[in-house]
Each structure stands twice: as structure tokens, then as C-alpha cells.
Chain A
Amino acid sequence: MSRRFRIDPRLALVIDLVVLVGAWQLAVVVIDRPFLPGPLTVARTFVAELGSGLLHHAWISAQRVLLSVLIGTAIAAPLAILAAENRVLDNFLSPLIYFLYPTPKVVFLPIIVVLVGLGNPSIIFLITLIVFFQIFVIIRDAVGRVPQATLDSVASLGAGRLERLRYVYLPLSLGAVMTAIKVSIGTAIAVLFIAESIGNNVGLGYYIVVEQWNRFAYARMYAGILAIALLGSLMFALVSWGERVANRWRAETGPDR
């Protein structure tokens, strides 16, 4: 008789951390070079740095990502709903999307810098661009899949365009948007890092590359990496929670008897 092995997820998390930190410490011992400081050193530096600027850099970076996500969603959502409803518009937009969606937007950074200027404008523009495509594609597909019966049902209640938007497309898109943001957070932060490291004097990318790496301040560089990792995880957790709430209705609990 085989019994399925179970473990408390909190215990699993602790084991994960122990293994991760252990492996890190082992690597430090084996490699023994200044560019790889130990976990304890980095943790101490991290705490010290938080008080002297790191928190501010993280906060700026967080604001940039949040603002980009908001702008990207605000532009993509209405366009995607229009495209899903209007075949002619979709015929024009789809080829563009298919061409541009898989193209890494970060390659446009030099052009964007020239176009909108260094610092906040180019950073936010670039991340918005990435988020825009993800959200556009996901909402357009979600709205395009609404069963005709659902549309007939609200139409038979006398719903016009605005009510269809409010009662069908928006609640349906909300979950899809959360999924899109969750998927694009990783890319957004990677791009944030690159964009912040040039021609700009604040943010985690700037902190890691310009303030520390360029000065061989390895412990502080790792503190920055830790901060960017934590920021990413925090955002990911928040969006995952939002996604769960927005998709509550897709209950897997099954019917209540």
C-alpha cells in the first residue's frame, strides 16, 4: 500500500531557504573570490543599506513598474475590446501585433531614449510597451471567446453597448488582465533593470549597476539584487492574489449539494 507523501508548505519553504542559503555559502567557500560575498555579509549590508537609500531606490522602481502597468492596461484594454468586437479593426491590428508581440521591446531602448528622453520617460515608456502587448493579446482573446449565448442573454435583457461592457467584458477581462500582468512582471523587472542602468540616477537598476557594480562594491551590489528579487516577488504575490480574487467565479469547488 502506497501512501502519498505530504508536507506542510511552510516547512517546505523553510527547507527551500536553508538549501538555497546553504548552497550559496558552499559556493562562497569553494569559489573564494571577492565578487561572491557570503549570505550573512549580504544580509547585514542589505539591512544597513535599506536605511541609507536602498529603500528609496526600490520605492522609485516599484512606482515606475506600477505606473507602467496602469498606463499599459488603460491603453490596451479598450483597444483589445474594440478589436475583439470589430473585425475590420482586428484585421488591421492583428498583423501588427503578431509582428511586434514576439519582438523584444528592449531593443528599441536607444530609439525610445532619443524619442522621449532619458530617465523616467524612457523607462516608463518601455515597460508600458511590454505590458501593453501582453494585455492586448490576452484581453482580445478572452473577449473573443465570450459565448454568443452570454451576449444574447444580456442583449435580451435590453443591454446596450455600455452595459455589455460593464457586465460582460469588464468582469471577464479583469481576471485576464491579472494573468497578463502576472506573466509580464518578470519581463517588466528585467527591462526595468536595463533601462534604469543608463542615463538615470535613481532606481534599483541604477543602484546595482552604477552605484555598486561599477565601484566593485560587491556586498552592496548583492544587497541591490536581493532588493530587486524581493520587489519582484512581492509584486508577483500581489498580482497572484488579485488574479485569484478576480477569478473566484471560475470555482473549482464544484456544485454545492
Chain B
Amino acid sequence: MTAGSYPATEDAAGGELLAFRDVTFGYARSAPVLNGFSWSVRRGGFHAVLGPSGSGKTTLLHLAAGLRRPDSGSIVLDGRPVSAPSPRVGLMLQDYGLLPWFTARRNLEVGLAIAGYGRDARRQRVGDWLQRLGLSAHADRYPAQLSGGQRQRVALARQFALSPELLLLDEPLSAVDELTRERLQRQLHGLTRELGTTAVIVTHNIEEAVLLADTILLVTGDGCISTATELATPFGGELPRRADAGFQEFCGQIRERLGA
């Protein structure tokens, strides 16, 4: 099965939101990272891109976010080619991408200011989202004064305050401890469901992919993505329990597929 035959999109509750069409991309003076790659992301779905480090997963997100342009092929958001970053697409980077010289509150404000929100709308959204993610008490602290989990929540709040249609997450939970990670996973899952945000998460953690996603794109580690297998997870969008036999079994299958 290749990405050309999307088993996961056939149950299409919503249509296609994002599509990679025959995309080839490489950094200057090195072999291509993506080669004739096609992929479709269903509106409202939670999609994981799973693979080892250095397999081009982050590049894939940068392309989707409009930070880089494909050498050939096209990337289409809601029927229109992606040519530059847009407030409809949020990108949460590996190290959270917070601006260290601004407080948590100011980090949220800056995102909204760049997206063109007025003063009052900014203040209200910032207050709302800081509160929703339990950050009100930390609003005036700088990122360096926050714990990893708190920084993570600030970054999430900054993204959700912009109400993006598509949220791209690059290893968002890799730097936090196990308990914090599980709490954030539940929070992330709940928020995307509630707001109908389409999400693409890049991760090298099999359990995380299986736990959060409806579909998982398996990327192999040979440094170039051309075709990739996409699997639908069997949990119907509900957050599965890690201890369940079904969950463990599915993770095992994926582990085998990745040849781990």
C-alpha cells in the first residue's frame, strides 16, 4: 500500500484540506528529501507522520507551512496552492518556537498582532487561552522561567489563539517528562476535537502516533520520502487507553512495519 491509495480518506467525514501532489524538494547541494511525494490530509482529522530522525519529516511540515517551496509538484491548501505562510496554518516547532525575550503573554500577543488582530481582540484571546491552558499565573514570566511543560502549553496557546484550520506539530512533546507528556497529549487531543482543528503531528514515538492520530504516515529512514505507507488507526477518534491490548497490539504492528 502506498500513499497513492489513501485508505484513511475513504471514510471522508470532511473533504481534503491539504494535499502534496507529486512534490520533489531538496536542500541546496544535497540529495532530495522528498521525491515525487503525494499525500492527502483530511479536514478535521488528526494525522501522524511517524519515522526515525533524519527521514525528512520536519521538511515535510515546513513545506506544508509555506516556509519552503517545492522544487516541483505542488502543495495545496483547501484547493489553493501554498506559496507563503498563512495564519490559517499554525506551525509548532520542536523547541516550541517561543520568543525568549517576550513573556508568555507577549508571545501570544505577538502571534495575534502579526495575524492582524486588533488590540481588544488580542487582549481577550490572550486572556482566554492563557486561562484555558492553566497559564494565567505564569503569564508574565519569560520562557526561561517556565518548565518544559509550561513552555509547551504557551506554544499551544499561541497556536490555538490564532484558531488555525490546520495545526502542524513538530515533535511537540519530545522534551517533556512522561507524565507531562501524557497530560499534554490528552489536552491536545481534546482541543483539536473540540475546535475541529485538522492536525498533523510529526513524531518518532510510536505510542504517541497511535494514541493521537486517526491516520499514520509511515516514513522510512533512507533520507528520502517518495512513497510512504499510510495506516488508519482502529480507535475511531477516541483517545485509547495505553494499557489496552488493542493499543499495544497495534503499536506492535507498526513497530514491525518500521522494521524496528
Chain B's interface size range is: 35 or more
B193: chain A residues within 8 A (beta carbon): none
Tell me if A255 and B94 are in contact (CB < 8 A).
no
Tell me if A171 and B111 are in contact (CB < 8 A).
no
Q: Is residue B85 contacting chain A, with contact meaning CB distance below 8 A? A: yes
Q: Is residue A154 contacting chain B, with contact meaning CB distance below 8 A? A: yes
Chain A's interface size range is: 20 to 34
- Bound Cα distance from A168 to B115, whole angstroms: 16
The stretch that binds A, out of B1-9, B40-48, B99-107, is B99-107
Residue of A nearest to B68 (CB): A152
Interface flags for A151-168 (1: CB within 8 Å of B; 0: not) read 011111111000100011
Q: Is residue B87 contacting chain A, with contact meaning CB distance below 8 A? A: yes
Residue of A nearest to B137 (CB): A256
Q: Interface residues of B: mostly helix, strand, loop or mixed? A: loop
Tell me if A150 and B86 are in contact (CB < 8 A).
no
User: Given contacts A158-B87, A167-B110, is CB(A257)–CB(B147) below 8 Å?
Assistant: yes
- Bound Cα distance from A153 to B69, whole angstroms: 16
Tell me if A157 and B93 are in contact (CB < 8 A).
no
- Bound Cα distance from A155 to B87, whole angstroms: 10
The stretch that binds B, out of A34-42, A112-120, A212-220, A243-251, is A243-251
Q: Is residue A253 contacting chain B, with contact meaning CB distance below 8 A? A: yes
Q: Is residue B173 contacting chain A, with contact meaning CB distance below 8 A? A: no
Residue of A nearest to B155 (CB): A153
Q: Is residue B235 contacting chain A, with contact meaning CB distance below 8 A? A: no
**Interface pairs (6), CB distance under 8 Å:** A149-B93, A150-B97, A150-B99, A157-B110, A167-B102, A171-B99
10 A-B pairs with least C-beta separation: A153-B97, A156-B91, A171-B101, A249-B142, A255-B147, A249-B101, A251-B144, A157-B114, A251-B145, A156-B85
Given contacts A158-B86, A167-B102, A255-B145, 12 further A-B contacts (CB under 8 A): A152-B93, A153-B91, A153-B97, A156-B90, A157-B114, A171-B101, A249-B100, A249-B102, A250-B100, A251-B144, A253-B145, A255-B150
